[in-house]
Amino acid sequence: MAHTSIWAEISSTPHELRYVDVAGVATRVLRAGSGPDLVLLHGTGGHLEAYARNIAPLAAHFTVTAYDMVGHGWSDLPDKPYTIDVLADHLVKLLDVLGIESAHLSGESLGGWVAAWTAAHYPDRVDGLVLNTPGNIANKPEVMERLKASTLAAVTDPTDETVRRRVEWLFHDKTQVTDELVRLRQAVYTRPGYLRAIENTLVLQDPAVRRDYAWDPSWVGLISAPTLLLWTSHDPTGGLDEAELLQTWIPRSRLQVIDDAGHWPQWEKPDEFLTAHVEFLRSLTSGAVG
């Protein structure tokens, strides 16, 4: 079915959208479906609607939880740096609040980084891991600067043009960037206090701060959960060489490439995204992943 609007995508799927208190942080959460728990994590400056095209089809196989990370979307914006350990701690406490002992995690970009950190440091909470274009594994300064500059430009001057340019950066097929998606980002970017919040997120693009959390085999090698590296042919943050490097660091990992997509394969190629998740995560219960 062709995309018509974000909320039309899940209009026929029973779901619940609410706020939960996570250690004092009002956190916006959407849940749908039944079966094994699958938590979806968005990227820098993102929000749960990044998965609008995936929630309904995934809910046919999993209990899907999508949420706005602390400092993102419409969750609370406490004034402190949102480093990877802070974001992972928020995720684990959210699992506690929702009564989820362990779950599959699927994270895109920053969300993949948070999911990987969680799997490494809280191994008993992660059953399976999907790292969806997790972004700049090689920690390249030019990629960090490009992400920081484009994001700040859109938040400090959230015109149609600047916000659309920021969203288009995520896509290989720019025609898939709808007016609705641009308006949604504008609504997030113009929230009171959001400029400070995005500055607190972008500390991760500062090499001095990033050093303590940068992708590195010293912690990535601790991941014990079976892992799918879901890459694309046109990811602006890193090529297949970075995917292959990450694969050497993570035991029990496999690599799959989605063609003709950029940094948001979940939006550009929802059918391939669904198939990858269902086949990989189902294989964990069948014992097919070694």
What's the whole-number mean pLDDT along residues 250-270? 96
Burial class (CB in 10 A: 0-12, 13-18, 19+), 282: middle
Residue 17's pLDDT band, with cuts at 50, 70 and 90, is very high
pLDDT in tens, 201-250: 999 999 999 999 999 999 999 999 999 999 999 999 989 999 999 999 99
Q: Does the pTM of the predicted model rise above 0.85?
A: yes
Residue 3's pLDDT band, with cuts at 50, 70 and 90, is confident
Question: Do 260 and 173 touch, CB atoms closer than 8 A?
Answer: yes
Sequence-distant (6+) residues with CB within 8 A of 86 are 70, 80
The percent of residues above 90 in pLDDT, for the chain, comes to: 94
The pLDDT value given to residue 290 = 44
Phi, psi of 153 (to 5 degrees): -60, -40
User: Does 4 have pLDDT greater than 90?
Assistant: no
Q: What share of the chain is helix, strand, coil (3-state, %, to 5)?
A: 45, 20, 35
CA-based torsion, 147, 54, 84, 249: positive or negative? negative
Mean pLDDT of all residues belonging to the chain: 95
The pLDDT value given to residue 1 = 56
Residue 261's pLDDT band, with cuts at 50, 70 and 90, is very high
Q: How far apart are CA 221 and CA 219, in angstroms?
A: 5
Sequence-distant (6+) residues with CB within 8 A of 102 are 37, 95, 124, 125, 126, 127
pLDDT in tens, 72-113: 999 999 999 999 999 999 999 999 999 999 999 999 999 999
Question: Do 21 and 27 touch, CB atoms closer than 8 A?
Answer: yes
The pLDDT value given to residue 48 = 98
Which CATH number is 7-286 given?
Answer: 3.40.50.1820
Query: Which letter does DSSP use for residue 68 in this model?
Result: P
User: Does 287 have pLDDT greater than 60?
Assistant: no
pLDDT in tens, 22-62: 999 999 999 999 999 999 999 999 999 999 999 999 999 99
The one-letter amino acid code at 57 reads P
Q: How far apart are CA 91 and CA 70, in angstroms?
A: 9
137: tokens are 């594994």
